[in-house]
Structure 1
Amino acid sequence: MIDTHVHFWNFDPVRDNWISEDMMAIRKDFSPTNLVSVYKDLQITGCVAVQANQSEEENHFLLGLAGQNEIIKGIVGWVDLLNPDLDERLNYWHNHKTIKGWRHVLQAENRDFILNPAFIAGVKQLKKYHYTYDLLCYHNQLKAIIEMVDQIPDQPLVLDHGGKPDVKSQDLTAWAANIKTLASNPNVSCKVSGLLAEADWKNWTEKELFNCFDVMFKHFGTARIMYGSDWPVMLISRPYQDWFNLVNKYAERFTADERKLIFSDNAKAFYKL
């Protein structure tokens, strides 16, 4: 089994200022050694490490960890997609085969950034090097994401955290409609990950999360959904095992082959692990 979405960091209160005071559980260092015993208990064989810092130094940091920890099977790094020398940078990073794709924190950007022709041109360049691209956005940004995706029909894309629906309010109508539209693009996959951060951290219910899972699985199907934890961010709500068990419980409705797709094969195919 593969966990397609984890982060590692040496906590820096200035650089990591998105980790607010009410997230005390994650205002510290997290390394692969923190995951080894949990993964062993749950029979998870590896993970994809996703950038948490928007710098090329982050790529070196994650590559260093991957060189010392075999649980890291792939890396989603960061590169400046607006850089006029982007092709040179992609060519440089292409020598590091553990890097499978790239991500920018689009949830922190506005519509004009997402639909900037230069940014979209940058994403289009990724195909030349067989890279993937992770889409990170809030539910209220999905319309812009859809317009962006419509312009890059042959680039492998994955929606992180299901597009961050408002689990807490359960106002899911607009989000569900946008997920349906986005999923009509066959090059887009979806991660079942990160939803605890969008819920009431201490008082969410299984039904609230399953309502979101229903939409994601209805439109993406088991062939384009992959399991992820969003560890350690999810620790603001529950221990790792609770999230895994929740997704595993939902997946009981599927066949053994379908569960294998969700927890393993889709990730291996998408990220070329």
Structure 2
Amino acid sequence: MIVDTHLHIINKSALTYPWLAGVPALDRDFLYSTYETEARRVGIEAALHMEVDVDPGEMELETSEVRQLSQKPDSLLKGAIAACRPEEDGFAAYLESQQSNPFVKGFRRVLHVMPDELSEGAVFRENIRRLSGSRFTFDLCVLPHQIQKAIALADLVPDLQFVLDHCGVPDIRSGAEHPWRDHMNEIAKRPNVVAKISGVVAYADESWTVETLRPYVEHTTAAFGWDRVVWGSDWPVCTLGGNLSTWVATTHALIKGCSPQEQTKLLSANARRIWNLS
């Protein structure tokens, strides 16, 4: 069975997503009910919602909307990785407001579409330090050349659990493995960083196969080890390269030769441990 650590729900009637205008294929509703049907068919038994970069004024509303979905009988939703703005002075108050919400398991600030220097700002770094020793995780969504910025954050707060999204966002479409490969080796040396095997189908061209993705997934698991990798669907972004069922089947093909213990760690056990999921 699978724990999906990276589910996006898009509900345009409830929330505003400014970035969707630039991605026509995703600029529509992708509702929990649609995801749930397919997820149960492929063996997903639990999911964490990943923030979808909504309008900043709606960050708390997004969490509230997802939490309501989690309260339905037999919901797959077990928690949320909430949006945040560490570069703003209001982060401390925002963090305080989320401390008492057990549904919030961590935070993410999308960085791969932002200027490189955003994470280097004094306010940003001061606010990331506020997460030190907390129960929260912090997801890092960065491009290969930005992995060095992610390393700096991991070194800044060594007792904060960071999660590197999407295998470090390699440029699979161009077949580029450098500097991504070396940067992945370097960030993997930080014991407070785990890697998420997710998103890669969206970075390949439409003719991709299992073997197209294998070098990137296998290098990530080799660098981090089986105790420091988790799986995510990145639905509905994964539909840019197939669909949820395709990505799940591809994952099983990629790890077919691994031991049952290794497969279980990637697909569910590590996620349950890191986010304390029942």
TM-score range (shorter-chain normalised) is over 0.9
Q: Which runs of 5+ in 1 are unaligned?
A: none
Give CA deviations for 1:102-131 in whole Å, capped at 9, x if unaligned: 001111222211111321221121235311
CA contact (8 A) 1:138 1:165 kept: yes
Please tell me the residue identity of whatever aligns with 2:232.
G
* Displacement after TM superposition at 1:148 (Å): 2.4
Match of 2:244 in 1: 240
- Measure the CA separation in 1 of the matches of 2:89 and 2:174: 42
Percent sequence identity over aligned pairs: 25
Q: Secondary structure at the match of 1:5?
A: strand
Match of 1:80 in 2: 85
Query: How many residue pairs end up in the alignment?
Result: 270
Match of 1:31 in 2: 31
- Measure the CA separation in 1 of the matches of 2:76 and 2:94: 26
Q: Secondary structure at the match of 2:196?
A: strand
Give CA deviations for 1:22-61 in whole Å, capped at 9, x if unaligned: 642x322122211222122222101110000243322222
Q: Counterparts of 1:55-66 in structure 2 under 5 Å?
A: 55-66=59-70
Q: Secondary structure at the match of 2:48?
A: strand
Q: Specify which of 78, 97, 100 is matched with residue 102 of structure 2.
A: 97
Q: Counterparts of 1:104-119 in structure 2 under 5 Å?
A: 104-119=109-124
Q: Secondary structure at the match of 1:158?
A: strand
CA contact (8 A) 1:48 1:73 kept: yes
Q: Secondary structure at the match of 1:97?
A: coil
Give CA deviations for 1:192-229 in whole Å, capped at 9, x if unaligned: 000111111x2123222001012101101111111111
- Measure the CA separation in 1 of the matches of 2:67 and 2:153: 29
Q: Which runs of 5+ in 2 are unaligned?
A: none
Q: Secondary structure at the match of 1:89?
A: helix
Deviates more, 1:187-196 or 1:122-131: 122-131
Question: Structure 1-normalised TM-score?
Answer: 0.92
Match of 1:222 in 2: 226
- Measure the CA separation in 2 of the matches of 1:86 and 1:18: 22
- Measure the CA separation in 2 of the matches of 1:119 and 1:86: 9
- Measure the CA separation in 1 of the matches of 2:116 and 2:170: 18
Q: Secondary structure at the match of 1:210?
A: helix
Q: Specify which of 182, 197, 201 is matched with residue 196 of structure 1.
A: 201
* Displacement after TM superposition at 1:234 (Å): 0.9
Question: Which 4+ runs in 1 deviate beyond 4 A?
Answer: none
Question: Structure 2-normalised TM-score?
Answer: 0.91
- Measure the CA separation in 2 of the matches of 1:22 and 1:51: 17
Match of 1:129 in 2: 134
Q: Does 1:206 align with 2:210?
A: yes
Match of 2:179 in 1: 174
Please tell me the residue identity of whatever aligns with 1:137.
V
* Displacement after TM superposition at 1:15 (Å): 4.0
